[in-house]
Amino acid sequence: MSMQSHNAPPPACAIVIFGANGDLTKRLVVPALYNLARTGLLPKNLALVGVDHNKKTSEEWTAQLKVFLVTVLAKNSEEIDETLWSKVAGSMTFLSGDFEKPETYSQLKGLLAELNQKQGLGGNVLFYMAVADRFFPVIAGKLGEAALMDDTKGFRRLIVEKPFGHDLASARALNACLLKYLKEEQIYRIDHFLGKETVQNIMALRFGNGLFEPIWNRDRIDHVQITVAESIGVETRGKFYEATGALRDMIPNHLFQLVAMVAMEPPVSFDAEDIRAKKAELFKAIQPLALTDVVRGQYDAGTVQDASVPAYRKEPNVSPDSNIETYAAMRLKIDNWRWAGVPFYLRTGKRLNIRSSEIAIRFKQAPYALFRDTPVDELDADWLILRIQPDEGIRLRFNAKRPGPAMMLESVSMRFNYKDYFHQAPAVGYETLIYDCLIGDATLFQRADQVEAAWALVEPVLKGWQDTNPRHFPNYAAGSEGPIAANDLLAKDGRSWRAIRILGGK
């Protein structure tokens, strides 16, 4: 399973990719499969089937994918391994068909039966919906009606990309559709954020070290800050963003999963269901959000990394009077014995000063009485900072005596960078997740109840925002750290945000 070491390739199977000509397949899915192949973690007997509406041959499809793979590899100054690619490409078959027509699935069923017999795939099939979310219920339903999800003669699994709905009602509807045709253990709701090594290492840090777990509670921790900052704008995704916004796009999936990793109770084992049960339990303990617990913002024109950038309302496919938020911050309160009284502050936004994702855990302040001669602003509290991207690592800040005869303290840091200790094979972030799907490990995937619990938490906020227009938009300059109102959210608690900066900073 994910929390243990894997060395063996998965069992023989077919991987069927719906949306074979799509951006996700070209940029992430196929490069991830190539990276798994070079580390020996693809099935030895493998058939890759691409399904899309375009008319093309298998040879044309593989040639097109190769062009994109070369581009992806070039970003890391790598060249394609022609022998390896030939092996992967040799397993590929393209099937032209309309996702909404039953005959597509009849043809697919016949093709899979043929490949299974020729290559000895054991009846195992992993279906990947690399398509727009409007096709999720269509494809799931057609697969079910064609009896392609029957797992009596081999595993049948379905990967569902986010978004897992756009609100509580749509999330429930999607889950109801999926569960009409599949069992929960066949469904893998994939979130690339959970494929990041640092995110997976949160559990290793907590539960694998006697140093941290005993102090991982309200007795020692003052508060937690989770930041996912992006320096880019909406770029070519204006149409998508106008229907989504920062809160829907990032918080119920990405940030809430980080909260769950940090705050869940220790599971009895690293079995997927034990871990997912603890996450679901944690979501139930979060107090309902009020509008006063949440801040929204939209970026104005500004300067990011010495380049002038336009306001959100000037971006392509964005309404000139748009009220969609590009920034969201919130305060969560968890009502259980471990975390009562410890606020969790979350923030995410576009066009901020730098790209940075981190979890910062602030420990309670030491008493000042012993250090009356040290200025209070120099006697900083201790921080544990888990850096997710870029430059993955962990940093512990604490106070040490400044050289000299007087007892004067100064904040210092101990740093651990993953790249300095571990060799990491080139990756696009999907390798671990796809591998886990192939071996049937659901640890890093969301269960239906988690999805609905997350949407239920933000539902009052979405409704409240829908009923009130933010007349102050835009309210933060591109290249800043967000709107002033986000600072006020912490200030009324007597706290402040950590500066958004690179790992080497304080």
30 and 134 assigned to the same domain: yes
Where residue 19 falls among pLDDT bands split at 50, 70, 90? very high
319 and 463 assigned to the same domain: yes
- Rg, C-alpha atoms of the chain: 24
Residue 472: burial class (beta carbons within 10 Å; 0-12, 13-18, 19+): exposed
pLDDT at 1: 45
123 and 263 assigned to the same domain: no
pLDDT tens, residue by residue, 226-285:
999 999 999 888 998 999 999 999 999 899 999 999 999 999 888 889 999 999 999 999
Phi, psi of 218 (to 5 degrees): -65, -20
The residues near 309 (Cβ < 8 Å, ≥ 6 apart) are 233, 301, 302, 303, 351, 478, 479
199 and 150 assigned to the same domain: no
272 and 142 assigned to the same domain: no
Percent of the chain with pLDDT over 70: 91
The residues near 249 (Cβ < 8 Å, ≥ 6 apart) are 163, 241
Q: Could you give the C-alpha distances from 147 to 49, 140, 156, 375, 400, in angstroms and in order?
A: 18, 11, 10, 71, 65
pLDDT at 406: 64
pLDDT tens, residue by residue, 358-394:
999 999 877 665 555 555 455 567 889 998 888 788 8
pLDDT at 208: 84
Q: Which candidate in 53, 254, 423, 472 is catalytic?
A: 254
d(CA 206, CA 229): 24
d(CA 312, CA 300): 6
Q: How many domains does the chain have?
A: 2
Please, what's the b/e burial string for 335-373 (b: 16 or more CB within 10 A of its CB; e: otherwise)? Answer: eeebbeebbbbbbbbbbbbeebbbbbbbbeeeeeeebee
pLDDT tens, residue by residue, 157-193:
999 998 899 999 999 999 999 999 999 999 999 988 7
Query: Which tokens go with 231?
Result: 């320096």
Q: What is the CATH number of the domain that holds 312?
A: 3.30.360.10
348 and 465 assigned to the same domain: yes
d(CA 445, CA 273): 10
157 and 204 assigned to the same domain: no
Dihedral angle sign, alpha carbons of residues 21, 24, 27, 29? negative
> DSSP letters of 157-194?
EEEEESPS-SSHHHHHHHHHHHHHHS-GGGEEEE-GGG
pLDDT tens, residue by residue, 449-469:
999 999 999 999 999 999 888
Whole domain around residue 276: which residue ranges? 194-491
The residues near 492 (Cβ < 8 Å, ≥ 6 apart) are none
Query: Which tokens go with 219?
Result: 């007795």
Beta-carbon-side half-sphere exposure of residue 419 (alpha carbons within 13 Å): 7
Asked if residue 178 is part of any domain, the answer here is no
The residues near 319 (Cβ < 8 Å, ≥ 6 apart) are 242, 313
Which DSSP category does 390 fall into? S
Asked if residue 186 is part of any domain, the answer here is no
Residue 218 has pLDDT above 90, yes or no: yes
128 and 243 assigned to the same domain: no
Query: Which tokens go with 377?
Result: 């602003």
Neighbouring-strand partners of residue 225: 345, 360
pLDDT tens, residue by residue, 36-91:
999 899 999 999 999 999 888 999 999 999 998 998 888 877 889 899 999 999 99
Residue 30 has pLDDT above 70, yes or no: yes
Query: Among 102, 136, 161, which residue terminates a domain?
Result: 161
241 and 359 assigned to the same domain: yes
Query: Among 110, 143, 161, which residue terminates a domain?
Result: 161
How confident is the prediction for the chain on average, in pLDDT?
Answer: 89
Where residue 18 falls among pLDDT bands split at 50, 70, 90? very high
Phi-psi region of 55 (alpha: psi -120 to 50; beta: other; left: phi over 0): beta
Q: What average pLDDT does this structure show over 219-229?
A: 95
pLDDT at 142: 96
Q: What average pLDDT does this structure show over 180-209?
A: 87
152 and 225 assigned to the same domain: no
Please, what's the b/e burial string for 290-311 (b: 16 or more CB within 10 A of its CB; e: otherwise)? Answer: eeebbbbbbbbbbebeeeebbb
Question: Would you tell me the crossing angle of helices 448-467 and 168-181 to the nearest 10 degrees?
Answer: 150
Query: Among 138, 161, 184, which residue terminates a domain?
Result: 161
> DSSP letters of 438-506?
HHT--TTSB-HHHHHHHHHHHHHHHHHHHHS--TT-S-EETTBS--HHHHHHHHTTT--PPP---TT--
Q: Is 254 labeled as catalytic in the residue annotation?
A: yes
Phi-psi region of 154 (alpha: psi -120 to 50; beta: other; left: phi over 0): left
Residue 105: other Cβ atoms inside 10 A: 21
209 and 320 assigned to the same domain: yes
219 and 111 assigned to the same domain: no
Q: What is the CATH number of the domain that holds 101?
A: 3.40.50.720
pLDDT at 373: 59
